[in-house]
Amino acid sequence: MKSLYSKFLLATILIMFLSSIAGFLITNTYYHQVTKPKNDAKNVAIAQSIIKHINEVPDLNLDHYLNTIGDVGYQIYLVDDHNMHKFYGGNYRVKDLPVSTIQNVLDGKIYHGMRDFPRETFVTGFFANHMSNTVGVPFQYHHKNYAMFLRPDIKLLFNEVHTIMGGWTLSMGIISLVAMLYFAKLLIRPITELTSATKRIANERFDTPLKIERKDEIGQLATSFNTMMSQLQENELIRKEFISNVSHDFQSPLLNIQGYAGLLKEKHITDEERQNYAAIIESETHRLSTLTKQLLLLTSLDQSSRRMVRKEYSLDQQLKTTIQKYRWWLDEEGINLSMTLEPTTFNGDAGLLENVWENLLTNAIKYNHLNGDIQISLESTIQEVIVRIQDTGIGMSDVTKKQLFERFYRADESRTKDGTGLGLSIVEQVVHLHEGHIEVISKLGKGTTFIITLPHL
């Protein structure tokens, strides 16, 4: 497979080649359309100025004068009406001037050979040393008719220019190519570094950020790449911590189940002890089941492709159903529950929001005092609905409030041994999915209030 550098080199050479051809064709068209007629007219004017000087000086030595003109850079072919002819200045490489053309000039017509020269490339057309590639003008000298054909001696006038132009073109091509190769190297170097960094990421090495300090698009790409690398590193730490927490949370109840199941096999235990051990095994099994369900729900919520199933339903009726579901627990703990629920129709994912109310209500029961109180209210406005769940329980410290929604966080292991540390994390994600927000007001020993605000959409 070709490298990006070799492709860039090939593309550069190809572009230079094609642009040279395109530039040549454009210049050639301009030469034929504009430059040739102007060049022809200019040389006709020069030839006429030479004849004017001949006519103004009657005793002029024609041969000497034309030799002088030839020496300063012109090729002249002179022919009279007796077919006597002579060359001045440089010689013509191709003597292709038709007799009829000579006769027409002798008859008083002007010959525009440069303008009407066959359409060839401008290099060969401009520099073609042909007698037909001249201008011809008539004149009289000492009562004789002459035809003078003239063109600049390109070899004499432009020999040094040819060398300079050739050297300039070659130097420009080489310098351009070297500069483009150097620029390509600079351009591709950070891409090579990005490739190496990508391989390091594939090997789970996130501790080597890119050191590319540029302000262009590649610099922006490098900055985004470093941000992505930092995020991946953070995600990797979160993943490892998550796996560690999950392993610990599964291991503890499994060890308890294993230990108490072993004790149940003992023959000398009493019926009361057997009942206690069975109750512990049942509790730990319930804890594992709850943990598994919550992990599955969190995984579902974490997937960006998950779409909420919004539909309009009675939010106040959902809250009543949730309260009724845990009425037995409220009676068991002697907790008094009061509620003020406005009839409210809400457009949301009923299944997800049911998890929110269950988690908050069970927490309010779990962390309440015996014979405590819980107050639940539902208010609805045009813009939003507000649900408040307030308890008179143990409350929480400021440190606990800051970490409350972190996964697997439990403020007091001894007090929350039957919890998973995932419930409030689920609550927060579901509320955010509904574009709402959650507020916690709590004081240690004074109870806790959760305020959930959900916008009408």
CATH of the domain at 315: 3.30.565.10
**36 shares a domain with 19:** yes
Q: Which of 33, 10, 24 is nearest to 180 (CA)?
A: 10
In Å, how far are 81, 408, 413 from 257, measured between CA atoms? 132, 21, 18
Task: Map tokens 């907790």 to a residue.
Answer: 335
| Cα 275 from Cα 402, distance rounded (Å) | 40
**In-domain check, residue 416:** yes
In the chain, the amino acid numbered 1 is M
Strand 336-341 versus strand 373-380 pairing type: parallel
**In-domain check, residue 239:** yes
pLDDT at 291 over 80: no
Domain termination site, one of 140, 160, 180: 160
**363 shares a domain with 258:** no
**Residue 118 tokens, joined:** 């066959």
- Within 8 A by CB and 6+ apart from 137, the residues are 44, 47, 48, 51, 105, 110, 111, 147, 148, 150
**127 shares a domain with 253:** no
pTM value surpassing 0.85: no
CB atoms within 10 A of CB 338: 10
Q: How many domains does the chain have?
A: 3
**315 shares a domain with 293:** no
**In-domain check, residue 202:** no
Q: How confident is the model at residue 305 (pLDDT cuts 50, 70, 90)?
A: very low
- pLDDT, residue 326, reads 87
**In-domain check, residue 193:** no
Instruction: Determine the structural domain holding residue 319 and report its residue range.
Output: 307-455
Q: Give the residue-averaged pLDDT of 410-433.
A: 68
**143 shares a domain with 49:** yes
Domain termination site, one of 282, 300, 318: 300
- Residue 77 sits in a domain of what CATH number? 3.30.450
Q: How confident is the model at residue 36 (pLDDT cuts 50, 70, 90)?
A: confident
**223 shares a domain with 146:** no
Average pLDDT, the chain: 81
- Residue 279 sits in a domain of what CATH number? 1.10.287.130
Residues 372/392, Cβ–Cβ less than 8 Å: yes
**351 shares a domain with 276:** no
- pLDDT, residue 415, reads 42
Give the range among 212-226, 266-280, 335-349 with minimum mean pLDDT. 212-226
**381 shares a domain with 428:** yes
- pLDDT, residue 1, reads 45
**In-domain check, residue 200:** no
**98 shares a domain with 48:** yes
Residues 151/114, Cβ–Cβ less than 8 Å: yes
Question: Tens digit of pLDDT for each residue in 332-381?
Answer: 899 999 999 999 999 998 888 988 898 899 889 988 988 899 999 999 99
**20 shares a domain with 89:** yes
Torsion angle of alpha carbons 64, 65, 68, 72, nearest 10°? -160
- Within 8 A by CB and 6+ apart from 371, the residues are 333, 334, 335, 336
Question: Tens digit of pLDDT for each residue in 48-93?
Answer: 999 999 888 878 888 999 999 988 889 999 999 888 899 998 888 8
Q: What distance lies between CA 117 and its chain's CA centroid? A: 55
**332 shares a domain with 384:** yes
